[in-house]
Structure 1
Amino acid sequence: MLFTPQHAIDELGDEFADPVSAAPFPETILRFRNDRAAAEIGLEDLDDAAWIRHFARFEPLPGAQPRPLALRYHGHQFRVYNPEIGDGRGFLFAQMLDENGRLMDLGTKGSGQTPYSRFGDGRLTLKGGVREILATEMLEALGVETSRTFSLIETGEQLHRGDEPSPTRSAVMVRLNHGHIRIGIFQRLAYFQDTENLKRLTGYVLRHYYGEEAKDDAPQRLLALVAERTARLAGQFMAAGFVHGVLNSDNINVSGESFDYGPWRFAPTWDPGFTAAYFDHAGLYAFGRQPEAIFWDVMQLASSLRLICDEAPLVAAMDRFPAAYTREVTAAVLWRLGLKPRNPEQDRALVQATERALTASKAPLDRFYFDAFGGQLPQSYGEPFAELRGLLAGYEPRKPRDHPYWEDSEPCSMLIEEVEAIWSRIAEQDDWSPLNAKIAAIRRMGEALQGSGDARHRWNEGRGEALA
């Protein structure tokens, strides 16, 4: 397709962002370019020199916005309100349409200081960039709606960080995702009692991320849509065994797409108390508490919208979340098990039995899903899986196990030990082959799981989505 630049962000005006410039990096070594994602927005034909000009030196793309924009937002961080944040080491670089006509953003991480950097250097460690590649590739393969890591370029600086060995190598990353409008942007406007811009932002999100024009019920309509989309994301996290680690309100995108990965991990077993961030001492964002955390963040959106809407319709919109989560986690687990749905009652019973069996047995998650795909659970799975085995007998596979992936002796996984081993080869030997091999293995797994014509990613079917 042709590159189709957009300037939708201009509709919001000067109150939402600050023009900024990228840092002048001493080196630009291309380490990763996502040609699969680039093809979706018409940029796959850029040669490496042009890629570096645009995604390390940040020369504007043809017809795109002339200057990067650092977005303004507030947010609750571990339930404590912080009015002093915003895009502190990133910016919105360009907007364009993808092959499905959706508005997409190219945003950065590690591109230098902005008015919101506070005491930070605005940089990204190379390890942080490598970790984000691994997270986004794995989540995409597992059917989670996620940003994609678009580009990673090493920048030749030595960075000092208190929570990892220093000095360490630096990088600038570009991500492609369906908007950068965070709940925290609404919170900032509510903080300043800015009702006019709250209305403007509500209309912008409805128009560009849900395909609807704002009407009299715009605030409650938006909240209902966000509640449904974020409930879906919570369900997908659980089926993937993924722990985001920092589900603050400034990290929740109102399009319902996961992004901004820091201390993430994949849980080795179904352990509700498993945490990703070493500083999450209370387990606020533990694996099993993620639906609650996301619901709490959406409540902050509801609180912000009270400036422009009565409380009762907002409460009704929020009430969609629990039922939507139950529906979505059920659909996501069935999808990962490779099964066709039957009916809501039976499907929910199957998922509950799966959770009970995995909790009791402490079976490795990736191994279980690999062995059980299509509904044929091996006899080696003993007593804790007896109930589940009986329920599986009534289900049909949604696709056959005919991809070569299913002949492998081990499932593709992304546990912390694997992440550290990949990074060690880069840090110690500048050997990128394990990373490249892992990306290829993840994409191969994704082919096996998703297959031809699979509609798991419903957001690829268009911008809008009807609600009952």
Structure 2
Amino acid sequence: MPTNPQAYRPAAALLTLGDRFYDPVAAADFPETRLRFRNDRAASQVGLETLDDGEWTRAFGRFVPLPDTLPGPLALRYHGHQFRHYNPDLGDGRGFTFAQMRDGAGRLLDLGTKGSGTTPWSRAGDGRLTLKGGVREVLASEMLEALGVPTSRSLSLIETGEALVRGDEPSPTRSAVLVRMSHGHIRIGSFQRLAYLRDADGMAALVAYTLRELYGEEPGGEQAADAARLLDRVVGRTATLAASYMAAGFVHGVLNSDNINVTGESFDYGPWRFAQTWDPDFTAAYFDHQGLYAFGRQPEAIHWDAMQLAVSLRLLADSAPLIAALDTFADRYQAAVSAAILWRLGVRPRDADSDRALVQATEKALRTTGTGIDRFFHDAFGGGLPHRYGPEWDNVRTLLTAYDPRSDRTHPHWRGEPCAMSIDTVEAIWAAIDERDDWSPFAAKIDAIRAMGAALR
């Protein structure tokens, strides 16, 4: 059941940017709308958990406007680097933003879609989402939330009754529309588009909007200073994002600049995978032939994307303060990855040198022994390493003795097996849905993930 429900607080901040940032669009008229997943826990943060299933389906499958927010769906415009190649022909091609509201802390939240139909930016795409893709996105976002990764939330998944043809999975296949809830949908690519167009006024407006609405900071009135301040905030948030991916053993798969939210919140889960062992070369996307976005290269990739934001902000600011902000990424990442791994180990931080030594020893032992990531963190939570971990783990075991647990192991989760998300697990969940329309393994996995999240907290 939802806890600590909030009042519904609609907003329409996006409209203040003006129509050069988006295109009004209409949702597809789907043959049917069958509710498959509703996230009342997330909905309770913005006062939407009281919707009955009929109201929910009309709002998130037919996109009947919610009261007093955006009057209709808006497809956002952006550019981006895709595998380091600049593409000016991007934008929301199978999604849109259709509502905004504020949570109990006053933070702005967007409701956006995936699979809601074609837009002016669809190019040759059909604007649709496979049901399997929707199931995978729900699983990814739930798992990442439980593991402490800043992530968008999957709010709703509705099956839409169309048969889709895809080249990379058995076709025809079932269709769906997903609604995600996130702190904005402004991407690094949103700024790249304005730099490409040499639109200084638009850039200044987007900087001000992002500071005010997504960071809760009033712009100072000096455009160059605001641009440098925004980059500093984004560098901090994206360094934390990169660190949280590593601690979670997560590989996003497609860390293009149009897939990096300037709030540092992970989103848009396509060819994601969780690495089973600490293999820096492990990739998620079958088309990532050069390993550009491999597990161990994700901090580098995200830093590179932040550099593209800095390049874009040169439209407003001199290079020196932008370079100074970029140069803090490595130190911020190191601090964040230490904090993330210690959190997953269930121990309290000590000092920077000790924490770094423990993290480096842990990474080395995971890499050289091939021990499962989820198995290790499950067994070691609270700072105690079982005796079956051999001499390769002696350094980790010794270093852990100096740490105090931040939590005990009384939660029932710790008495069971690790809650992992291997590709085999995902495929088994999908097979039950595809072959028998059996959603019970999917529901059971969501319950197990949330139990793990509660135990980690």
Residue 261 of structure 2, aligned match among 241, 247, 253: 253
Q: How far apart, CA to CA, are the structure 1 residues paired with 2:161 and 2:133? A: 15
Deviation for aligned residue 1:276: 0.3
Aligned to 2:450: 443
Which blocks of at least 5 consecutive residues in structure 2 are unaligned?
A: 1-5
For the 8 Å contact 2:141–2:153, the answer to whether it is kept is yes
Aligned to 1:2: 7
Aligned length: 449
Shift of 1:394: 0.4
Q: Which residue of 1 aligns with 2:373?
A: 365
Report the Cα distance in structure 2 between the residues aligned to 1:399 and 1:4, rounded to whole angstroms.
Answer: 35
User: Where do residues 22-421 of structure 1 align in structure 2 (5 Å cutoff)?
Assistant: 22-215=27-220, 216=222, 217-408=225-416, 410-421=417-428
The alpha carbon displacement at 1:383 in A equals 1.8
After superposition, give the CA deviation of every residue in 1:360-409 in whole Å (9 maximum; x if it has no partner).
Answer: 1000110000000011001111121111111011001001111011111x
TM-score of the superposition, structure 1-length normalised?
0.96
Shift of 1:422: 0.1
Alignment of 1:453-468 (within 5 A): none
Identity fraction in percent: 67
The residue aligned with 1:456 is: none
Query: 2:51 & 2:219 partners in 1: Cα distance?
Result: 38
Measured against aligned partners, the alpha-carbon deviations of 1:298-334 in whole angstroms (never above 9, x if no partner) come to 0000000001100001000111111000000000000
Q: Counterpart amino acid of 2:124?
A: F
CA distances 1:22-44 after superposition (whole Å, capped 9, x unpaired) = 00000100000000000000000
Question: Which 5+ residue runs of structure 1 have no aligned equivalent?
Answer: 451-468
Is the 8 Å Cα contact of residues 36 and 157 (structure 2) preserved in structure 1? yes
Once the 2 structures are TM-superposed, how far is the Cα of residue 212 of structure 1 from its aligned partner? 1.1
Q: In 2, Cα distance between the equivalents of 1:104 and 1:281?
A: 36
Instruction: State how far apart, in whole Å, the 1-side matches of 2:62 and 2:174 are.
Output: 18
RMSD: 0.5
The one-letter amino acid paired with 1:383 is: P
Report deviation, 1:208: 1.1
Report what 2:3 is aligned to: none
Contact kept? 2:115, 2:128, Cα under 8 Å: yes
Q: For 1:63, what is the secondary structure of its paired residue?
A: coil
Inter-partner Cα distance in structure 1 for 2:401 and 2:438: 47
Distance 1:67 1:105 in 2: 13
Structure 1 residue matching 2:150: 3-state secondary structure: coil
Q: Which residue in the other structure is 2:431 paired with?
A: 424
- The secondary structure found in structure 1 opposite 2:402 is coil
Letter of the aligned partner of 2:301 in structure 1? A
Any idea what the Cα deviations from partners look like across 1:111-170, whole Å, max 9, x if unmatched? 000000000000000000000010000000000000010000000000000011100000
